[in-house]
Structure 1
Amino acid sequence: MLIRTSLALVVAVAAALIGWRVLAPAEVSSTVAGPSPVAVTRSPGVTGRTNQAPLIVGDAVRVYASKRQTRADTPVDAKSVMTAIWSLRRWPQQLSGVVAVGDTVVSRWADGELIALSARTGKTVWRVSTGIGAPAFDGHRTGASTVWAPGDLHTGDGAVLVGGASRVNAYDAATGALRWSEPISCGDAFTTAGGQFVCTEQAFSLATGKAVTGWPAGPHTPLGCDVAASACGGLRDAAGQGWLVTGARPERSAVLDQQGSTVAAGRAIAPRPGAQVLGASQGRLVLLTDDRHLRIADAVTGAVSADFALAVDTEKLTWKPGLWQVTDHWVAIERLAADGPASPDKPGHYFTVDTVIIAAI
């Protein structure tokens, strides 16, 4: 009887130790072991498709988000997701958002940690505890909202801005030093190309966090933004009037009054019949046509330099765009089923398994 009791105790202790090793809080980081990734450029055209949305950084790496991990692969023109060259996993914490400033990738976690990694090596550059809790992971299957539209996480003027219920902190993207912290209660925030942090009703200086005057009445609708609702070139005010916000003061723009107008390459762009402006690349407009072609056109003359179908092999062109990213040389677009359910968690929401298409521009 004693032997059986002892064996049972040993088994119970072993099970507890195994459970602790599996479930105990843990952080695992792996960094680049081989050569540093290099930027890639290609002639315009589709290069691949992935099942997750990549944050393209420096035209050299693709950064992905999942519930408890951020990782990167390379090269950007790979036909599918490749083996990770670096990764950061934090159990049981959830990844809330990812942004990039230059070659620095900054991840925000639900426990308030802000961790900056080198995009090319995965090594930690700096790390701070913000004291501001972050939303849980909501990127669904592709992680698109986590890398392209993270909540309460923005960039501007070389800083990373972290928002909460009643406070906004700005950290230097290169060092992690706290630039400013202000008691700002903010909703639907974005940053501007002119150096402002804009909340529902008010605008603040990105340099100091102090309120700025002379802004049109909110709530504001941002226009012509980069990923993470950052570096927006324009907005519409509460009355629906358009403004360019590429400088220190808003500049009235009647062109931006029109639905479907936007800002690209520093210019107010009128609606384009049969096409949606996704952004700008080196002074060129990047447009998605109604028949799902990607068209590259001069921002001033409108001259088209490239036009190609956004499909791989025999794929149909019957999808609708979700979120996307435009860089100097690349575009990545999340494709949704044209008549699929609205919820990303329901079958049939996405166009296909490898639903993100990547193209050189």
Structure 2
Amino acid sequence: MRLATGGRRIVAAVVAVGVAAATAIIAYRVLAPAEVVTTARAAYPTLPTPEAGVVGRLPVTPLIVDGRLRVYAAQRQVYADQPADERHRRTPYWSYRRWPATLDAVVASGTTVVSRWSDGRLVALDARTGQVAWRADGPEPDQERSGRRTGTTTVWQPRGFSLGRSGDGRDVLVSSGAGQVAAVDLAGGTPLWRAEVDAGCREPVGPSTSGQLLTVDDCAGPPTVEFRDLATGEVTGRWRPPDAGADLTATLFGCTSDGAGCAALRTAGPGDATARSWLLGTGDPVLVPALAATGTELVGRMAVTLADGELVGRAVPDGVERWRVAVGLGRLVAVQTGRVHLLTEENELVTVDPSTGGQLSRFVLNVGSDGTGWTPGLAYAADGYVVVERLRRPVDPDGDEQRYYFTSEPLIIAAT
């Protein structure tokens, strides 16, 4: 009887150990860091040539990549569908998932899509196949990504994560956070440089078309714009707008759609009646009055302003008026190479050639039976497409998702 009892105890102990081991294996498989790469099974789509007009509507915010794909962001996933002019979101063409990190930001250039994660990891994907092109480590984001379910802040407003082009022609990816800023070569993920910076008082603004990273430094003394060479990380200069106050807000604009950086800088302080706009180059920024009007956009070397229903193009930097065209009351919503997009008060999308003022297309931004009784939110333009966020009237920034968005598919996409 004692042997039998002892035997049962041994068997029970063995079973308990086995159960514990199995549980540990299952827990490890479920909770251990992992990535899942689902590559494309179909051929890379041909470049579509849609007629000007509304393409469709989407529930989440896309990036247009290579004119062929739409890339989206989820909490722990980057995925793409195709073609770019598909009316609705489709089954993913490819997908990349990570666990337990969460997705912080996504940028794209050419056929390379790069995601940044909450642990600072950078993962580049070949948009043509969905295969991982390279992986690299960067600074961890200094704050948790916030935003609504559409992912707009992740793909259209990536904080601390940007693309630029160095003076020697290399495409450079810059990430910042946790008291560091670092750059890698977009082509292969090779680290270029990493610098320690004072957290909380050095805010990267972004890269310029002249191959420099701009940062607002207010760690000691009045806020100053710092210039850092994209290729080397070396600080090449510091600049402060004349007569600037104790606070300084700096915003880049005139940004290229191919990720080469931005050509102009808008600065303002809390007491300034209007912002001042500066053209960026290799020396100190140059004040350009033609860029000063509220809402002015810079496309190439043309400053475009909408005022009193007229769209006006002025050469930069001399400010000479080159063209003027009546388009109706509204506002500029997006620009891209060779195109300026504005929405009228009736939600007509008007697209104009910035070099001549010639109208390229004009149509009502409506799909199905949705109507036009909405307010435009953020907008994005690339590869001849425009995507506009539609918000419910009156706009309630604190409302829940149903109250805030116009429909369950609030993103409307159009070809121009």
What is the TM-score normalised by the length of structure 1?
0.89
Residue 210 of structure 1 corresponds to which residue in structure 2? 234
Match of 2:209 among 149, 174, 193: 193
- In the TM superposition, 1:73-152 aligns within 5 A as 73-133=81-141, 135-152=143-160
Residue 341 of structure 1 corresponds to which residue in structure 2? 396
Q: Is 2:364 the partner of 1:329? A: no
Task: Give the Cα separation in 2 of the matches to 1:78 and 1:129.
Answer: 35
Larger radius of gyration between Structure 1 and Structure 2: 2
AA of the residue aligned to 2:47: A
Q: Is the 8 A contact 2:141 2:177 kept in 1?
A: yes
Instruction: Report the CA distance shift for 1:276/1:211 in structure 2 as closer, same or farther (over 3 A).
Output: farther
Q: Which moved more, 1:245-254 or 1:255-264?
A: 245-254
Gaps of 5+ in 2: 166-170, 217-223, 242-247, 310-328
Match of 1:36 among 35, 44, 52: 44
AA of the residue aligned to 2:231: A
AA of the residue aligned to 2:386: V
SS of residue in 2 equivalent to 1:348: helix
Task: Give the Cα separation in 1 of the matches to 2:14 and 2:372.
Answer: 64
TM superposition shift of 1:7: 12
SS of residue in 2 equivalent to 1:145: helix
Normalized per residue, which structure has more strand? 2
Residue 222 of structure 1 corresponds to which residue in structure 2? 252
Q: Is the 8 A contact 1:191 1:229 kept in 2?
A: no
Q: Which moved more, 1:199-208 or 1:245-254?
A: 245-254
Task: Give the Cα separation in 2 of the matches to 1:344 and 1:19.
Answer: 38
1:25-70 C-alpha deviation (Å, 9 max, x unpaired): 3211111122123322212111111101011111111111011111
TM superposition shift of 1:82: 0.6
Task: Give the Cα separation in 2 of the matches to 1:284 and 1:108.
Answer: 30
What is the TM-score normalised by the length of structure 2?
0.78
Task: Give the Cα separation in 2 of the matches to 1:31 and 1:162.
Answer: 26
TM superposition shift of 1:214: 6.9
Task: Give the Cα separation in 2 of the matches to 1:209 and 1:336.
Answer: 41
Q: Which moved more, 1:48-57 or 1:191-200?
A: 191-200
Number of residue pairs aligned between Structure 1 and Structure 2 = 361
1:183-242 C-alpha deviation (Å, 9 max, x unpaired): 344325122233222122323232332334374535323223468997223222246321
Task: Give the Cα separation in 2 of the matches to 1:93 and 1:247.
Answer: 39
Match of 2:174 among 155, 161, 166: 161
Q: Quick one: percent identity of the two aligned structures?
A: 36
AA of the residue aligned to 1:264: V
SS of residue in 2 equivalent to 1:339: coil
TM superposition shift of 1:333: 1.7
- In the TM superposition, 1:258-297 aligns within 5 A as 258-272=293-307, 273=309, 274-297=329-352
Instruction: Report the CA distance shift for 1:335/1:221 in structure 2 as closer, same or farther (over 3 A).
Output: same
Task: Give the Cα separation in 1 of the matches to 2:213 and 2:400.
Answer: 32
Match of 1:182 among 183, 189, 195: 195
Task: Give the Cα separation in 2 of the matches to 1:354 and 1:247.
Answer: 44
Residue 233 of structure 1 corresponds to which residue in structure 2? 263
- In the TM superposition, 1:296-335 aligns within 5 A as 296-335=351-390
Q: Is 2:270 the partner of 1:254? A: no
AA of the residue aligned to 1:335: R
TM superposition shift of 1:108: 0.5
Instruction: Report the CA distance shift for 1:181/1:16 in structure 2 as closer, same or farther (over 3 A).
Output: closer
AA of the residue aligned to 1:170: A
Gaps of 5+ in 1: none
Match of 2:407 among 345, 352, 356: 352
Q: Which moved more, 1:261-270 or 1:156-165?
A: 261-270
Q: Which moved more, 1:346-355 or 1:201-210?
A: 201-210
TM superposition shift of 1:143: 0.8
AA of the residue aligned to 1:286: H
SS of residue in 1 equivalent to 2:403: coil
Task: Give the Cα separation in 2 of the matches to 1:66 and 1:358.
Answer: 19
AA of the residue aligned to 2:412: I
RMSD of aligned Cα (Å)? 2.8
Residue 73 of structure 2 corresponds to which residue in structure 1? 65
Q: Is the 8 A contact 2:252 2:266 kept in 1?
A: yes
Task: Give the Cα separation in 2 of the matches to 1:142 and 1:339.
Answer: 19
Instruction: Report the CA distance shift for 1:8/1:353 in structure 2 as closer, same or farther (over 3 A).
Output: farther
AA of the residue aligned to 1:193: T
Q: Is the 8 A contact 2:66 2:383 kept in 1?
A: no
Task: Give the Cα separation in 2 of the matches to 1:282 and 1:17.
Answer: 53
